[in-house]
Amino acid sequence: MSTTTAARPDPAAASSDVVGEAARRRTFAVISHPDAGKSTLTEALALHARVIGQAGAVHGKAGRRGTVSDWMDMERTRGISITSAALQFAHRDTVVNLLDTPGHADFSEDTYRVLTAVDAAVMLVDAAKGLEAQTMKLFAVCRHRGIPVVTVVNKWDRPGRDALALMDEVAERTGLTPTPLTWPVGIAGDFRGVLDRRDGGYRRYTRTAGGATVAPEEHVSAAEAAAREPEAWARALEEVDLLTATAGEHDQELFLSGVTTPVLFASAVSNFGVGALLDVLVDLAPAPAGRPDADGAVRPVDAPFSGFVFKVQSGMDAAHRDRLAYVRICSGVFERGMVVTHAASGRPFTTKYAQHVFGRERESIDVAYPGDVVGLVNASALHVGDTLYAGPPVAFPPLTTFAPEHFAVARSVETAKHKQFRRGIAQLESEGVVQVLRSDRRGDAAPVFAVVGPMQFEVAAHRMAHEFGAPVHLEPLPYGLAMRTDEASVAGITASSGTEVLRRSDGELLALFTTKWVARVVREGKPHLTLEPLVAAQLG
């Protein structure tokens, strides 16, 4: 009687599979100032990838639906992105992980976390407004993190600025050399198509009703373009000649090293130029690479599984009130049900309920690779910044907590709902929706919400009332500055008027001051006290 032994997996083959799968991934975020069209572009990209049949609404357009990525009630009502969203879809032979970010400055901290989880960024520029303040702040984060940037000039179907002037602004304000891959045929407000600098041809667009379906695109030779659009084509050629003399052609190495930025012209609401952007991301954006750990050592993509939590979100499924931890896979293969180690506690963590996320919609996922974003359901032990791993231990750098600038005491409107109140506060705190500060003097019934921007108060109050059934009254406090301190300094700080010391959940003691002047008086009058600045909310 003969026996057979099951063949052991070939480590070299497994490593090759991981490297190959990682090479097929593109993980990027869309960044811009509010109202530049981020969520509309996100929807248009999903439409072109054929993962949705009809584009969602630009808010205010009658008869159109809300965007896939903006799923919160407040987002649909106010027409802005409040929370980040993850979408995954395929284009050609590539798996695209698209992370939509909040545009409003009040949610800078959430946007910063998302940018830690991507390998490239699409910087969306309004054709009429150019580079706005929040765009520049987010760009500064990308530059700091070495994230290559693709620039898209959006809303070219509306009146706007001169295309060459916009290129000058990009060069002057970002320090990057713009290398347009497409160039508009027709001035802003008269968008007919683009001259494709890569082949010299003309991509002519045709409008669809409300931009709800993919805009037909016709590829036309240069000779035919000159015959059809003599004036507009001649102008585009003249401007491209000027570009060639100054900006040159795309160079992949210079792009990846943060010297240049490829530029495309588009109208997300009309779906013009969106297909070209998808192709550019697949062809030019970098695949996932090894990621430095907290000690600076790089964990290669073919190392055993590792990932980090960059976002925690609850309230996506009202029927189940579950909690979803978004994990960026950094190395190895993720398999649903595998037992990994939670680096912060050293305890095992079972990944039984793992899902891919498409806006608010989710489906179970059995396997994922570096670059993918996996949602772990009911992961109450996980917090923003946590690392998970298998095999050799690893811990990725902690995520930055910004200095809050606005403060309010939260009190339950209905005292009988103290359990729901405490549960809701703990949930918002663990997600990073607000920082929660406490002190013995105020007690657990009156925690202090600390935020970067006041709109975070609105989100917190809305969620306390609608998700946890514990409406709150928020009483603003007069403080405008927070600094790190220690136990030995508390008495000296609080002896001065216009101050208070509270403890954050991570154990940090924060000294609050009504004004910078008050803080300066305390520091100069009592130089022995510990008062250290926190990371500023101004990105970059």
Binding residues: 100-104
**H-only helix segments in 98-229:** 108-115, 133-145, 163-174, 222-228
Question: Strand pairing of 120-126 and 25-31?
Answer: parallel
Q: Per the annotation, where are the binding residues for GTP?
A: 100-104
Where b means 16+ CB within 10 Å and e means fewer, 335-359 reads ebebebbbbbeeeebebeebbbbbb
What whole-number distance in Å separates Cα of residue 462 and Cα of residue 453? 15
Q: What is the dihedral of CA 492, 400, 384, 405, to 10 degrees?
A: 50
Q: How far is CA 216 from CA 193, 206, 270, 272, 366, in A?
A: 11, 5, 11, 9, 36
The neighbour count for residue 425, using CB atoms within 10 Å, is: 23
Pair 499, 513: CB distance under 8 Å: yes
For residue 153, the cross-strand partners are: 125, 265
Q: Report which DSSP code applies to 399.
A: P
Pair 140, 112: CB distance under 8 Å: no
The neighbour count for residue 404, using CB atoms within 10 Å, is: 26
The neighbour count for residue 165, using CB atoms within 10 Å, is: 11
What whole-number distance in Å separates Cα of residue 246 and Cα of residue 125? 21
